Each structure stands twice: as structure tokens, then as C-alpha cells.
């Protein structure tokens, strides 16, 4: 597994979570919805903020700046700014959740998952499609090791994924 493949796999998992959330968004009963959406909020916040975005913002993207005409440094800064926007969106979702503002919660969640999906597709198509060609073998190995060290430092990534997959399997009935 390469560092780029790790990010692509994490994007794939996040897109699965987007689809699961879309199913939950269709639940009409607010109490059932409220119970089901909680796990997705926790998954998105913890997975993106603890595991995924730091790998991009702190490890890979700084190496890619000024390496290619295809990926401008400004574009990479914009992508990182999007990550901050997502953190703010999740905070808004959590506020709506805590105060039982169902309509706001549904609306903020829709905005978040649509923006996240668009963002991932842009990263996959522009950044990750060429990233492996911009780094030499030693850099790619270093990035991979830093990704692994990052995940090991925080430690419960597998539990978080397992919990999401349980939520996903419960919602397949809908």
C-alpha cells in the first residue's frame, strides 16, 4: 500500500459515509433520524479531523507545493482551507444536533455531505491522480511512514471504521 493509495482508500470510505448519510437523511421520523445521524456526525468529525485531513495538510500537500504546473500552491492552500471549512460545518451540525434543531441539522448535513463529496472528487482528480509522479521513491516511503506513525499516534482508527461499518449495515435496511 502506498501513501497515495491510503488517501484514496480513505476517500472511498468517506464517500461510503456520504452515501450512508444520504440514506439517513431520508428518515422522516425525527427521533429515529436523530439517533441514526449521531454516529455519522461522530464518524465524520473524528475520521476527517484526526486521521484524514492532517495527512493531507501536514504531510503530503506541503511536499507537493511548487512541484508542478498542474497543481498550483494556491490550489493546495485552497484545499487545506476547505478542510477548515469542513471543521466549521461539523461544528454547526453538532450545534444543531445538541439543540434538537432538526431542520437546521438536516440542512447543514446536506450541505456538508455535498461539499465533502465534491471536494473529494476534486482532490482525487487533480491532486492524487498526479501526486505519485511528483515525489520520488524515498519521499513516497517517508510519507507512507509518516501516515502510519500518525495513525498509530491516535490509535483508534480501526475502531472508528468498524463503528461506521456497523451504522452502514444497519441502514442498508432502509
For every residue of 27-46, which 3-state class applies, written as one string?
CCCHHHHHHHHHHHHHHHHH
Closest CA to 33 of 129, 109, 112: 109
pTM for the model stands at 0.94
CA–CA dist 51, 45 (Å, integer): 10
User: What is the pLDDT at residue 67?
Assistant: 82
Over the stretch 42-68, which tens digit does the pLDDT of each residue have?
Answer: 999 999 999 999 999 999 999 998 887
Q: What is the average per-residue pLDDT within 81-108?
A: 97
Query: Phi, psi at residue 84, to the nearest 5°?
Result: -65, -40
Domain ranges, ordered by start, for the chain = 3-171
Axis-axis angle for helices 3-25, 157-171 (nearest 10): 40
Over the stretch 102-153, which tens digit does the pLDDT of each residue have?
Answer: 999 999 999 999 999 999 999 999 999 999 999 999 999 999 999 999 999 9
CATH 3.40.50.2300 fits 3-171, yes or no: no
pLDDT > 90? residue 101 = yes
**Element at 47 (helix H, strand E):** none
pLDDT > 80? residue 74 = yes
* Cβ pair 147, 8 in contact under 8 A: no
Cβ-in-10-Å burial (0-12, 13-18, 19+) of 158 comes to: exposed
Q: What is the average per-residue pLDDT within 56-85?
A: 89
Phi-psi region of 136 (alpha: psi -120 to 50; beta: other; left: phi over 0): beta
Q: What is the average per-residue pLDDT within 4-19?
A: 98
CA–CA dist 139, 98 (Å, integer): 43
CA–CA dist 143, 2 (Å, integer): 9
Share of the chain above pLDDT 90, in %: 84
Top-ranked range on mean pLDDT: pick from 8-12, 130-134, 154-158: 8-12
Amino acid at each position: 500500500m502506498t501513501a497515495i493509495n491510503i488517501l484514496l482508500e480513505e476517500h472511498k470510505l468517506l464517500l461510503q459515509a456520504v452515501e450512508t448519510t444520504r440514506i439517513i437523511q431520508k428518515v422522516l421520523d425525527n427521533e429515529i433520524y436523530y439517533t441514526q445521524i449521531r454516529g455519522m456526525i461522530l464518524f465524520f468529525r473524528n475520521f476527517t479531523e484526526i486521521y484524514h485531513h492532517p495527512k493531507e495538510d501536514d504531510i503530503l500537500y506541503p511536499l507537493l507545493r511548487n512541484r508542478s504546473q498542474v497543481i498550483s500552491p494556491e490550489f493546495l492552500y485552497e484545499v487545506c482551507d476547505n478542510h477548515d471549512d469542513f471543521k466549521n460545518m461539523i461544528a454547526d451540525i453538532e450545534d444543531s444536533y445538541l439543540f434538537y434543531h432538526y431542520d437546521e441539522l438536516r440542512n447543514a448535513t446536506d450541505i456538508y455531505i455535498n461539499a465533502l463529496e465534491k471536494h473529494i472528487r476534486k482532490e482525487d482528480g487533480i491532486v492524487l491522480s498526479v501526486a505519485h509522479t511528483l515525489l520520488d521513491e524515498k519521499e513516497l516511503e517517508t510519507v507512507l511512514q509518516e501516515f502510519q506513525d500518525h495513525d498509530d499516534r491516535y490509535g483508534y482508527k480501526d475502531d472508528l471504521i468498524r463503528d461506521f461499518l456497523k451504522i452502514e449495515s444497519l441502514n442498508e435496511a432502509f
